[in-house]
Structure 1
């Protein structure tokens, strides 16, 4: 993949690739406790794209998905990593997904809820991270249950517990870890959605830039780069998306 000069000027207009990294999704990125530096699948992909463009990667670290969207929309980042959602598509050009992640519900052991389909009932309150893929999806899908928005995805389970809410919604793996470390919690079987995790650029960067990143993602899936990154970072329970 050789970048046309116009692609390079669109993707790295400042001579470096500015990638926004959302630390609110531990499947994609985390912060090293010692160095404070980010690591994870999204960091690896951004670094590899920068390497192929022959520029340095610069990371903008955020804690919320909504902040990732804002960083690209406002021109503070050149590329980002997002759950594909039509509400975000007005200004961002998404690639095909590189990962498929399951969204799940968490309840207390004594909850009468036994299935995902039972959640959308009047009187039930569902905690979600504000601006997350789950917030956007459930805001469209839930007709009777009330959505309670926590400041970010990592705040969902604390808000669920502190406010005495009936359901928490989020990344299945994160909720599984919460249920394992906190007594009296369980996940409802299965999933309520599949999140298509993709890279994205601002539409203002142009179609050539979007096409280049889209081709890059396909190459990373085909070469097993994504699968190897998952293995390297110890991420289980997610699926590399099929070729576009």
Structure 2
């Protein structure tokens, strides 16, 4: 068994567990307007991890995934919660995913697009949150459509409407919420990607740290903590990721 005291010292050299929180994904983190306090699944997991290691936790909140990722890469934070992507692997070591989220497309009601396969056509403009998992994925996979970038994921639909683009891409639940508050919008059926949300730490931390974090994520999936956190925060549409095979 790994010594939690040694892990705490190796993971959090400042004596506090510094958790980088991405407010750009409202399924996993949010901020109360009245007092600025943070809430969400990633907050709950940070506090559980800190408690197990006998550490205080301090949060660094960012409005976009790319900023949150960079804080961990620069070792300004000890952990972060992001979608796994090859473009983020340099400088960050990820656990297996703990939550799976769908990425979807949104269009205007009047759009001629009727399915996802029609999106990647010459002349189409697709709006994504800069540096988000969708940006990284679609940058690799779209061959003909042009990508336009919004400053953050929550502003994607507003940017999409403002610039007159053809498609908005992002978290299905965020797009559904935007479609309900703004008239004349609809989602295309299905999802273009399954986003694997994982716990990440600076790659330079000791191997025992990464081993401990991997075990932590498997345990909180198995014991229901992730499931209960999703329910507690009213998150619909995100699923607890399956257990990581030991083999």
TM superposition score category, shorter chain reference: over 0.9
Structure 1 segment 168-179 matched on structure 2, within 5 A: 168-179=168-179
Structure 1 segment 75-114 matched on structure 2, within 5 A: 75-114=75-114
- What does the per-residue CA deviation read over 1:147-182, in whole Å, with 9 as the maximum and x for residues that have no partner? 001111112111100000000000000000000110
Shift of 1:12: 1.2
**Partner in structure 2 of residue 140 of structure 1:** 140
TM-score, structure 2 as length reference: 0.97
Q: Is 1:69 aligned to 2:78, yes or no?
A: no
- What does the per-residue CA deviation read over 1:10-61, in whole Å, with 9 as the maximum and x for residues that have no partner? 2111111000011110000000122211000000000000000001010000
- What does the per-residue CA deviation read over 1:112-157, in whole Å, with 9 as the maximum and x for residues that have no partner? 1111111000000000000000000000000000000111111211
Where does structure 1 lack aligned partners over 5 or more consecutive residues?
Answer: none
Shift of 1:3: 3.5
Count residues in correspondence. Answer: 244
**Partner in structure 2 of residue 14 of structure 1:** 14
Asked if structure 1 preserves the Cα contact closer than 8 Å seen for 2:4 and 2:53, the reply is no
What SS class does the counterpart of residue 96 from structure 2 fall into?
Answer: coil
Where does structure 2 lack aligned partners over 5 or more consecutive residues?
Answer: none
CA RMSD of aligned residues (A): 1.0
Asked if structure 2 preserves the Cα contact closer than 8 Å seen for 1:3 and 1:53, the reply is no
When residues 216 and 180 of structure 1 are mapped into structure 2, their CA distance, relative to the original with a 3 A threshold, is same
- Structure 1: which 4+ aligned runs deviate by more than 6 Å? none
Asked if structure 2 preserves the Cα contact closer than 8 Å seen for 1:71 and 1:77, the reply is yes
**Partner in structure 1 of residue 25 of structure 2:** 25
TM-score, structure 1 as length reference: 0.98
**Partner in structure 1 of residue 160 of structure 2:** 160
Query: Hey, what's the Cα distance between the residues in 2 that align with 1:157 and 1:133?
Result: 16
**Partner in structure 1 of residue 130 of structure 2:** 130
Query: Hey, what's the Cα distance between the residues in 2 that align with 1:60 and 1:124?
Result: 36
Asked if structure 2 preserves the Cα contact closer than 8 Å seen for 1:3 and 1:212, the reply is no
